[in-house]
Amino acid sequence: MNHELLKQVIFDQHSFIRNFEIVDRKCNFDLDANYVVVGLRRAGKTTILYKLVQELIASGVDWKQIIYINFEDERLDEFTMADFNDILSVQAELSDKEGWFFLDEVQNVLGWEKFARRLADFKEHAFITGSNAKMLSSEIEERLGGRYLTKYITPYNFAEFLTAKNVDFSEPATLATKESGKIRAAVEEYFYYGGFPESLNRLDKRGYVSSIYQKILLGDIATRNNIRNPNALRIMMKKIAEAVKDELSYTKLHNILKTIGVPVSKDSVIDYIRYAKESYLIFAVKNYFSKFVEKETTSKYYYNDNGLINLFLTKEEPRLLENLVALTLKNRYKEGLYYLKSQNLDVDFFVEQEGLAVQVAYSVSNISSTRETDSLIQAAKSVKEAKRFLIVTYEEEKVIELAGITIEVRPLWKWLLER
């Protein structure tokens, strides 16, 4: 690879990063470790690396030590595995100090993992990003042999969304009429269009989210996995969106598709779900009470951004609300998220390590004896780990005392901002 071209790519990137405005996001790196940064397309992985570069420069690192290369740059279309060594040579030409290597969308180059292992073995500072299923956590561990830590990046949470929109959400602001009104207006946008960072500046937000979805569906899933019937995949993803809130087994989903005339085998349905999870498009929540086999075959599925699931739904606010609660709980608590379902118990979510039982109801007006409260009362009696009982609504707030337990009813915008 021509060294002058590589330097041009690097210096152009420096110029861009210098002037890039960063929305503050809580994402800490151990600078003695190497990282692979993964997540949904357009979730903000590159921006996270820009922020890290700016922090390194502020700490005294020289720009010539920063080797930032975006492998989606068309000038690198002919870059191959044999060219990676030129990156090390160029870094040595630019500075006699240690280099900081940032390889963005490096999965575009076949054999990238060999160079990544060499960087780690040579004790270089390396940070790698990837969007598609070639950068799965499981595959990274296998390919990189434990040399890198994995950092998972999501679209904006609601606090980050408000920060990006310059909306004050401090405690005084949440109590003031005008300021809290701005937060309520922002939560409506977040509810329908999700948290993709670049969508905030788009007039056609739905169109932008749709373009991301098509790239994931056709690129990261269909093309990568050589799916011969992408239409079956497309219809299946729509049916999963329409079934949010409901349990789905592989068999049930296969039967739904068969009923509407979609020619796809049950094995293909299983594969398609795995591909969608691997591409960070959807995630599964399991039943806390299920046996191992049932946990593997039956789940509730949710999308990793509300803008994505809203592409499929019309006037389905309760499903949108549950999806947003699900992905917030997953991102907030990581592991240990379940739902509770048995013969006389149906609770939308249960966070084991917090003892938190959560119901989702768009409205609880005129609530008396309902599914939401009855199941929380039953959970208090039968699940010894359950300690806190919560109903998330779109905008209502109250406290319900029933059968010796306290049930908090929290409006979505306040709950999303809980620390």
* Average of per-residue pLDDT across 173-196: 96
**Bridge partner list, 411:** 393
Q: What is the pLDDT of residues 146-173, one digit of tens each?
A: 899 989 999 999 999 999 999 999 999 9
Residue 284: C-alpha distances to residues 135, 281, 301, 398 (Å): 19, 11, 5, 30
> What pLDDT was estimated at residue 378?
95
The beta strand positions in 352-403, using DSSP E, are 356-360, 388-393, 398-402
Residue 53: C-alpha distances to residues 26, 36, 67, 288 (Å): 15, 15, 10, 42
Whether 243 has a pLDDT exceeding 90, the answer reads yes
Question: How far is 231 from 5, CA to CA, in rounded Å?
Answer: 42
> What pLDDT was estimated at residue 108?
84
* Average of per-residue pLDDT across 251-262: 96
Per DSSP, helices labelled H in 358-417 are: 371-382, 412-416
Question: How far is 266 from 263, CA to CA, in rounded Å?
Answer: 10
Burial code (b: 16+ CB inside 10 Å, e: under 16) for 388-402 equals ebbbbbbebeeebeb
| Residues comprising the chain, all counted | 419
Q: Is the pTM of this model over 0.75?
A: yes
Asked if residue 308 lies in contact with residue 206, where contact means CB atoms within 8 angstroms, the answer is no
> Which is more confident, 1 or 412?
412
SS3 label, residue 306: helix
> What pLDDT was estimated at residue 139?
66
For the ranges 35-44, 124-133, 191-200, 380-389, the lowest mean pLDDT is seen at 124-133
Q: What is the pLDDT of residues 78-125, one digit of tens each?
A: 999 999 999 999 999 999 999 999 999 888 898 999 999 999 999 999
Which of 341, 356, 352, 342 minimizes the C-alpha distance to 390? Answer: 356
